[in-house]
């Protein structure tokens, strides 16, 4: 009997188009599940992997895709609490559930994490295998497309705002870089009760979208000093600044935008070195600078619950959907940094 096959979008060499291949449908281990993928979002990490090649993969060819949702097709022998046919979202990495961070609910720091599409085959395929520990049940009323983008594109800024930035209602928030992650940061900051939100981005379309999503002020950093513009409009610096670009200049902009006692949360990833302000100023003002990496399972769970209850509307977040065979067209559009894009979603079943 011929083993069952599926279609998968495979990275063979960075900078070259992904190859659509027929590969064997994976078999879940004892504590794993097989998920039939309904939707897989694309993000900047996919561009770093497939186009720029500045994030290494563990092997090639490898199936990309780490932002996924679908239905359980098969259960490993030791899996409990899930059922075939159940709709689930995947944590963007295979996490162990056993290390000190997983046991503390800080799955973003899992010591044995293997990111889909980077360290193991991902979800730009008709099926993907995932540890049961990394599954999140999708509530009724939440679409599979929205559930997919929540896992990273929405959960990452939520983690930065809530878990790392400890945002409080009434605080002033600056969002630097208003692409997919930053746009959702604006939306979430408004939902969480921010008293003032400023969006900072070079692209006029991104600034306009941020204003539509709830920002009170939008600044072009090429046209004016962002810190001075914030103080002129708001009267003081912000309590919390979120940086989604990953450049030294934007990190320093986040720090300069802070009020006394403010916190700068750095989400963007890059290789550039950043300088702190003079210590007499940095220490005396009790400024805080911290990193924020990914998300924890509870971030995804809470966001899905907010959508199900009608508190969070992501209907404008999915810019376009693509069939699996159109993956290279979708990646090209994302790599162009089209300011009109919030999230692109691939539907492998098409």
Residue whose pair of structure tokens reads 């604006």 in the numeric block:
186
Digit-coded pLDDT (tens) for 277-315:
888 888 989 999 999 999 999 999 999 999 999 999 998
Query: What pLDDT was estimated at residue 338?
Result: 75
Digit-coded pLDDT (tens) for 145-179:
999 999 999 999 999 999 999 999 999 999 999 98
Query: What pLDDT was estimated at residue 270?
Result: 80
User: Is the confidence at residue 51, as pLDDT, over 90?
Assistant: no
DSSP string, 92-107: SEE--S-SHHHHTT-G
Cα–Cα–Cα angle for 120, 52, 226, rounded to 5 degrees: 110
User: Is the confidence at residue 1, as pLDDT, over 70?
Assistant: no
Domain 166-291 has CATH 3.40.50.720: yes
Query: What pLDDT was estimated at residue 108?
Result: 96
User: Is the confidence at residue 233, as pLDDT, over 80?
Assistant: yes
Number of H helices, E strands in the chain: 11, 18
Digit-coded pLDDT (tens) for 10-47:
999 999 999 999 999 999 999 999 999 999 999 888 98
User: How far is the C-alpha of 206 from the C-alpha of 204, rounded, in Å?
Assistant: 5
Please tell me what DSSP assigns to residue 258: E
Cα-based torsion angle of the residue sequence 194, 198, 199, 204 in order, rounded to the nearest 10 degrees:
130
Digit-coded pLDDT (tens) for 92-143:
999 999 999 999 999 999 999 999 999 999 999 999 999 999 999 999 999 9
Please tell me what DSSP assigns to residue 158: H
Report the candidate in 127, 28, 138 with the shortest Cα–Cα distance to residue 75.
28
Helices (H), the chain: 44-47, 100-103, 144-149, 155-158, 180-191, 204-213, 226-234, 248-256, 279-284, 297-308, 327-335
Query: What pLDDT was estimated at residue 228?
Result: 94
What is the location of CATH 3.90.180.10 in the chain? 5-152+295-347
Q: Mean pLDDT in the chain?
A: 94
The residue with greater pLDDT, 274 or 107, is: 107
Instruction: Show Cβ contacts of residue 11 under 8 Å, excluding neighbours closer than 6 positions.
Output: 18, 49, 50, 57, 60, 61, 62, 63, 64, 117
The CATH code for residues 5-152+295-347 is: 3.90.180.10
What is the location of CATH 3.40.50.720 in the chain? 166-291
Instruction: For the chain, report the end-to-end CA distance as a whole number of angstroms.
Output: 26
Half-sphere exposure of 220 (CA within 13 A, CB side): 7
Please tell me what DSSP assigns to residue 336: T
Query: What pLDDT was estimated at residue 72?
Result: 98
Cis peptide bond prior to 61, omega within 30° of 0? yes
Backbone angles phi, psi at 337, to 5 degrees: 55, 45
């Amino acid at each position: 009997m011929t083993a069952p096959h599926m279609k998968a979008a495979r990275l063979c060499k960075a900078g070259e188009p992904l190859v659509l291949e027929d590969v064997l449908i994976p078999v879940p281990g004892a504590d794993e599940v097989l998920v039939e993928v309904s939707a897989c979002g694309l993000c900047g990490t996919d561009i770093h992997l497939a186009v720029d090649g500045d994030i290494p993969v563990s092997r090639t060819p490898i199936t990309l895709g780490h932002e996924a949702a679908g239905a359980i097709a098969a259960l490993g022998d030791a899996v409990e609490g899930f059922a075939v046919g159940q709709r689930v979202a995947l944590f963007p990495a295979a996490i162990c559930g056993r290390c000190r961070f997983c046991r503390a609910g800080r799955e973003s720091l899992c010591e044995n994490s293997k990111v889909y599409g980077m360290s193991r085959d991902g979800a730009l395929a008709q099926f993907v295998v995932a540890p049961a520990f990394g599954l999140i049940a999708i509530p009724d009323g939440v679409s599979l497309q929205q559930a997919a983008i929540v896992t990273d594109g929405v959960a990452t800024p939520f983690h930065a705002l809530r878990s790392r930035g400890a945002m409080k209602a009434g605080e002033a928030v600056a969002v630097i870089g208003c692409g997919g992650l930053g746009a959702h940061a604006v939306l979430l900051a408004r939902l969480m009760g921010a008293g003032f939100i400023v969006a900072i981005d070079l692209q006029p379309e991104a600034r306009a979208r941020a204003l539509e999503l709830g920002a009170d002020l939008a600044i072009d950093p090429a046209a004016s000093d962002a810190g001075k513009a914030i103080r002129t409009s708001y009267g003081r610096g912000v309590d919390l600044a979120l940086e989604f670009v990953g450049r030294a200049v934007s990190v320093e902009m986040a720090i300069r935008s802070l009020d006394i006692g403010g916190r700068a949360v750095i989400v963007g990833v890059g290789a550039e070195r950043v300088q702190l302000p003079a210590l007499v100023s940095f220490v005396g003002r009790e400024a805080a600078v911290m990193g924020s990496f990914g998300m924890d399972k509870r971030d995804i769970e809470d966001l899905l619950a907010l959508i199900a209850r009608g508190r969070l509307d992501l209907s404008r977040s999915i810019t376009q959907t693509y069939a699996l065979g159109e993956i290279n067209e979708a990646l090209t559009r994302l790599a162009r940094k089209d300011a009109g894009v919030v999230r692109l979603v691939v539907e492998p079943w098409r």
